[in-house]
Structure 1
Amino acid sequence: MTLRLITSPPSFPRFTCHATALPPSPQISTPTSISSTSQLQSLTCALHCPHFQSCSGCTHEHNLHHPVILEDAKNFFRKYGVTDFTFDTCNLWGWRCRAKLAVRGSSTNPLIGLYEEGTHNVIDIPECKAHHPNINAAVELLRQGITELDIEPFLEDEGTGNLRYVQMAVTTHNTSLPAAKRYMSGKVQVTLVWNSRNETSAGSEKLNALANFLWKKGGPRSRLHLIHSVWANFQTSEKNIIFGNRWRHLLGERDFWEHVGGIDVSLAPSSFGQANTRAFDALLQKLQKYVPYESSVTDLYAGAGVIGLSLAAARKCRQGLMLSYRSIKCIEINKESKVSFEKTIERLPATVDSNITWHHADASK
């Protein structure tokens, strides 16, 4: 276990596949070459994850270049006049930059992963192929800390134990590195969901000890700088809700930044963020091409307002003669997201001249 922590995290081959709704160009080929190509594509576009049969996280294992839902998506967009719909898997492995994982088992044999489908039995997923490699490395570091410090995982039936869940979020925004190296060098923000009311409750000494362990072994002065920051969330509810309402920053950088859609985005651990950072960035770049200039945009379920603010930065919502109609309205039910929204606003280019507002409301009503 220790060897995995002091060496560089494993890097996955970055196979990408592409599918399009446009008809393919005519080609002359033999039946043998078609079969060979199909078999090769099926192999290279497969998940190859050892946890697939038991873990509930992924539902599609083979032919990832052509998932079952792709035809439905094509038909949906065609119905609304979008004839140039394309589908790109981006990275097949190592794409997930945000993960919420349950912590169960015992201090000597902790299980850190997802529930088996239809149950509350946690499946340990140390070699998850979807996770960014540094999430897997941070999970192994956490596992070591739980064992060495005798941290008790949560027992649902009894409501006892210390650590209920962990959230891992990777930031790949590091301007000190060449762009090509930033993704694989991402740092992990760790949120420990602790089974207590606050930081003064019983067991707080173990929380601090675990946070210090992660920072010592994975912080900037360690042999492998892996950890961006450590946060705590306090949750005692008997309901199946991961986070409580109380958050505390413990160690490392307080601000977590990512660069997507042409803007720097601030994301608190309580903020919603897309798990596939690269795919989301590609989606935003494409979305900007479809929104007409001088549009008015309402971003529902906005979170920190990433979609709306990305369009504002692309100058798609510039104020014209009718100023009140050239606006960005971000609507979000989680009031905690407003702080991230305001920090993101501060980094927008000076050329943005939209009327931008954030509203705390339930977009479903």
Structure 2
Amino acid sequence: WGPAAEADAHWRALQTALDDPDLAETAARLILIASAQRPNLLAAAAAIQKLDQLQRTTPADHARFWLALVRNGDTAAARALAEQFAGAPSRAFELSLLAAAFESVGLPDKARQLLLRWCPVLGYQRHHESAEVWMALGSLLRSQKDWRTMAETGATLERMASRFPWLAGYAAYLQGHAAHESAQGPLAEDRLHKAAAADYPLGALGIDVALGLWQLGRAREADQLLRRLPSRLHLLPRYWENRWNVTLTLREDEDALLEAASRLLELQPESTAVQFNYAAALLARRERLAEALRYTFQVWQGAPTAPGRILNHALALAMNGRTDEADALLEPLQPDRLTPEERISYVLARLEIAVARKDADGVRAWLPRVDRSLLFPTERRWLDQVAARWGVAPASSP
């Protein structure tokens, strides 16, 4: 839509173009596409009606209208329309969009039938759209825990890999994931190792494989794979989301953590989750603490009773020397009800407060409770400095 100041004018121009015979079809389709970012059910309804009048409605148009209904809270109406739909996709992107729409309206079995029927027809072009359909099928089979069909799909892709070599890595991943879940250890190890080492000319498949490897506890291989993927993928938020998750799991490289958080902030500046993670990355590096505090405050204001947001903001307050405010935020929390990740933030905030106040008893009480396995190198070095200064032995990693 261009600059925010011009977005409204562009939106009005599209709606006006619905009445122009030469522009109506394009305008209607753009309105449906735009409804993904700018929900407007009345405009989406007018657009689908115009396409129906022109007899130019495609399966993708139907799917986008169902999704517009879902975003406006009318899932029942969207489901009713989807249940009546009898069309077929003609391109890979339509298949992916229809499958996503069926899942969104609560018809996962219909999405499954569609993907199993049409992936072999539309999924063998060396194009990112073909990658998306196999990823959609793999994701659906994961969510349904259908390991048998996943293994069969992987075997089919392996047979096709001689003609379509860009599928080889994903074929190995599907077989490996299915074998892992079916307790076939040697087969799982062989296939997952092959998937991690494969090349992915269609980089989106590589991102999906990295996600699967991370979910299976193979964060190191996922990290190595993500770092090998083409730089053009750096424009995709999901690339950096996976880099963030993997880096957070490994707890080794806070530079990579901040890079992932910074790139996501560039791509999704309004996302509360992204702002939260960006602040957390700054705190892990113990740098630009005032900037981190601004973000933790914004995020905390949006949900002031959420433990994770309270803890991130309290830690930022403590690291900025505002110990009384940090203490007041922490007071109502019950540490035994926090997740391990939340608990480490709680303990670190308490320790930061004690250090800032030169509270020797507080330092001695909280320092041994820090789980070093959940810290990044900069945090561990700071912990060692505190231990040396106060003569307290820090806890060892589990």
TM-score by length of structure 2 reads: 0.32
TM-score by length of structure 1 reads: 0.34
Q: Which structure shows the bigger proportion of residues in helix conformation?
A: 2
Query: Computing the radius of gyration over CA atoms, which structure comes out larger, 1 or 2?
Result: 2
Higher relative contact order (CA 8 A, sep 6+): 1
